[in-house]
Structures are given as structure tokens and as C-alpha cells.
Amino acid sequence: MDNNSANSSQKLLEALVKFKRVHGHEMPPIDGLNHGEILVLFAIKKAATSDMEGIKVSEISKRMMVATPTTTQVVNKLVAGGYVEKRADEKDARAVRISLTTKGEEIILKAHDCFHNMLSGLVNHLGEEKTATLTNLLNEAYDYFCEQKKKS
């Protein structure tokens, strides 16, 4: 790696660290749920549009790219709070399906409004052109890291 690349990598790392420090602090808890718990609700919601039976914990983990035990802990907390429900898979008695409750659906709506307001502020700050550029760069970065993960 040459000096320019090393300098660019360092600047990128510093910017990402700054972003990590504010990530999650911008969005206040909703009904006592933190950012990660709300993201699990969104993953369940997204799966529900294509699979009305609910989604397996392992499928949530794959979608979110986190370990299954971590997802299990979050799902158990969401079950205890009444945001999601577990039920046996009709085709596989060993498997459990997770689906949103009405309370979970309400949190999705609140969180969507919160995310929308937060991102609308960023769009207003950056402007349409810079927002489009940022969106494209983030998508390219995501694709790059997905490819790297497949190679490893």
C-alpha cells in the first residue's frame, strides 16, 4: 500500500469511527426498545411480506448478518415484551417461527417515522445531489464487503 492509499484508508477509518460513535445515539429508544431490537422487528416485518408463517431465528440472523445466539436473545426479549410471538413450524416440529404482534407493528410505524425524520434532515443538510452520491457510494461499499465476505 502506497502512502496516498494508507492516508486515504486512515481518513476513511477515522470517519467511520466518528459515525459509529453517533450511530444509535441519534435515534432515541422507542417504547424502551434500542436500535438493534427495532432492526430485528424490521427484519421480521420484511420477511412477513413474503412468508406469512413467520421467520426462523436463523433466517433473521442471516438477513442481519449476526450470530444466531445474539438474535435469539433479542427475539426472547421481544417475545417477553409482547412485540413478537413464537409458534411451532407446521412443517417442521423442531423449528419455531417468529411473527410480529399488533404491538410490534405499532413500533415499526413509530420507528419508520423516526428514521424518516432523521434521514430527511440529512437529505436537507446535504442536498439531493450529495445525497444521491452518498447513497451510491454506500451501496458500492456494501457490495464490496459482501463480495469480500463470500471470498473468505
Mean pLDDT of 116-135: 93
**pLDDT above 70 (res 58):** yes
Whether the model pTM is above 0.85:
no
**pLDDT above 60 (res 94):** yes
Distance of alpha carbon 75 from alpha carbon 80, whole angstroms: 9
Please report the pLDDT score of residue 3 as a whole number. Answer: 74
Please report the pLDDT score of residue 95 as a whole number. Answer: 84
What are the structural domain ranges in the chain?
A: 3-151
Q: Among candidates 27, 42, 115, 47, which has minimal Cα distance to 83?
A: 42
Q: Among candidates 47, 24, 32, which has minimal Cα distance to 107?
A: 32
- From 1.10.10.10, 3.50.50.60, 1.10.490.10, 3.30.70.3040, which CATH number describes the 3-151 domain? 1.10.10.10
